[in-house]
Amino acid sequence: MSEKVWIAGGGVISGIGMNLRESLQAFREMRPGMGAMKYLSSMHRNTFPVAEVKADNDMLADMAGLPENISRTALLSLIAAREAWQSSGLGDISRYRVGLVSGNTVGGMDKTEDFFAEYLADNRKGRLQQVMHHECGSITEIVADAMGIRHHVSTISTACSSGANALMYGYRLIRNNIVDVVIAGGTDALTRFTLNGFNTLMILDQQPCRPFDETRTGLNLGEGAGYVVLVSDSLAAQLQPWCRLSGFANANDAYHQTASSPDGTGNYLAMKGALDMSGLQPQQIGYINLHGTGTGNNDVSEGIAINRIFAPHFPAMSSTKSFTGHTLGASGGIEAVLSAVAVKEGIIYPNARFEHQMKELPFAPATTWSEGNDLRHVMSNSFGFGGNCSSLVFSSF
């Protein structure tokens, strides 16, 4: 049995770049990805800024090598998963027992919502092709089939923590010798369904979001996909892994279907559990990639839980959602890639638009890019609806 599980590579596509290199460049140059809606068709086009991937479906389909009528969620997923695989240096995928574990929140909803307009007028109408991939699992299978992955395919949907939970399950699949390699992360495309849903909750900011800022008023939605490649000890020995997945925990806030508890119980339990599993003291964490959505409720609960664990030695922290927007089911995957590469390169990401200290908290996020820091351990937080809270820890040895 593999004792440790390693990160052998990663790939990401989001509103700030079509791949990891472009994304890092966007952070370096302080270029957040949110702006006016260009590709999603919605009544709210001029009200809410979003962080869209800067390509239409035809261009993404071309990059992915899939038909352009396939759900954007699958196109984003395949592009990032392929980048992750290629970065690992593992070569021919058919040589390994490979699993794909992918999180998403609404599957092929981008096509279903188009279908529904015709279908509701007459339930014998609407092109069935548009609902064929409605199920979350169907999106994962499009990617698995395109990459030639058959040993294990699964899909996780725990709202905004889906991508993070995919890494945990992937870790267990390797430790239990079910597969040798797992591509784990998440994907989500922007849809009218989610945009309108978050709008009814009144947690969308009409300006670019301001995570962990006293004046924050909500989140911006984003889209994208992010995957890491998890490998066993024996494969890691033949590669140059970025770091290892040293700890994680999943806890439930059990407070409210959508809101976080005021004291951040679930957030605390997830971070504490992840530290315990990795055998670390809080002061050993060098950087936290915050969940940091920019809603009043999330940031205060997350901040209070961080204060409870880390005070008085606060690590550097930032919310990369200030660049990518909140990519929902993809966020845990995208932020896992950013956190893993942070360990490898010693990167601390900037938190864009932070100006005003939150009155409840004694710490502030990092506001500038730096690399080459001595980062041994990085934590990534992902919290979601349904009380689902997950934390991951990436370590350099």
Partner 1 sequence: MLSIYINGAGCISPQETAAGGPMLANLREYEQVKLATVDPDYKQWIDVKQIRRMSRVVKMGVGAANLSLQAAGIAMPDAIVTGTAYGCLDDTGVFLTKMVNQQEEMLTPTAFIQSTHNTVGGQIALLLGCNAYNNTFVHRGFSFENALLDTIMMLREGSAQQILVGGLDELTPHSYQILSRFGLYKKEPVKTMELLNSPTCGTIAGEGAAFFTLGVQPGTNTAAELTGISTLYKPMWEGEVIGHIMKFLEDNNYTPNDIDLLVTGRNGDIGQDEIYEEVVEALFPEHPEASFKHLCGEYPTAVGFGMWLANGILADQAVPEAAMFYGQAPRRIKKILLYNHHQGTHHSLVLLSHVE
Among residues 39, 96, 116, 369, which is the contact residue for partner 1, using CB under 8 A? 116
Is there a contact between 289 and 252 (Cβ–Cβ < 8 Å)?
Answer: no
Q: How far is the CB of 77 from partner 1 (least distance, A)?
A: 14
Among residues 13, 210, 387, 394, which is the contact residue for partner 1, using CB under 8 A? 387
At 277, is the secondary structure helix, strand, or coil? helix
Q: Tokens for 340, please give them.
A: 């893993």
The length of the chain, given as a count of residues:
397
How many Cα atoms are found within 13 Å in the side-chain-facing hemisphere of 228? 33
Q: How far is the CB of 99 from partner 1 (least distance, A)?
A: 10
H helix count then E strand count, the chain:
12, 10
What is the enclosing helix (H) or strand (E) of 120? helix 109-121
CB nearer partner 1, residue 117 or residue 237: 117
Is residue 131 at the binding interface for partner 1, with CB under 8 A as the rule?
Answer: yes
CB nearer partner 1, residue 55 or residue 249: 249
What are the CA-CA distances from residue 254 to residues 57, 257, 269, 323, 387 (Å)?
39, 8, 12, 30, 6
Contacts of 243 (CB under 8 A, 6+ apart): 6, 7, 340, 343, 344, 378, 394, 395, 396
The residues that are catalytic are 160, 291, 326
Quick one: which segment of 188-196, 219-227, 297-305, 306-314 binds partner 1 (CB under 8 A)?
A: 188-196
Among residues 23, 105, 351, 382, which is the contact residue for partner 1, using CB under 8 A? 105
Nearest CA to 349 out of 324, 331, 332, 314 is that of: 324
Q: How far apart are CA 347 and CA 28, in angstroms?
A: 10
Site string for partner 1, 190-229 (x = CB under 8 A): --xx--xx-xxx----------------------------
CB nearer partner 1, residue 4 or residue 152: 152
Site string for partner 1, 56-95 (x = CB under 8 A): ----------------------------------------
Nearest CA to 333 out of 181, 206, 227 is that of: 227
Quick one: which segment of 115-123, 205-213, 362-370, 373-381 binds partner 1 (CB under 8 A)?
A: 115-123
Which 146-185 positions form the footprint of partner 1 (CB under 8 A)? Answer: 150-159, 165, 168-169, 172-173, 175-176, 178
Q: What residues line the site for partner 1 (CB under 8 A)? A: 42-44, 105, 107, 112-113, 116-117, 119-120, 123-124, 128, 131, 135-138, 140-141, 144-145, 150-159, 165, 168-169, 172-173, 175-176, 178, 192-193, 196-197, 199-201, 249-258, 265-266, 269, 384-388
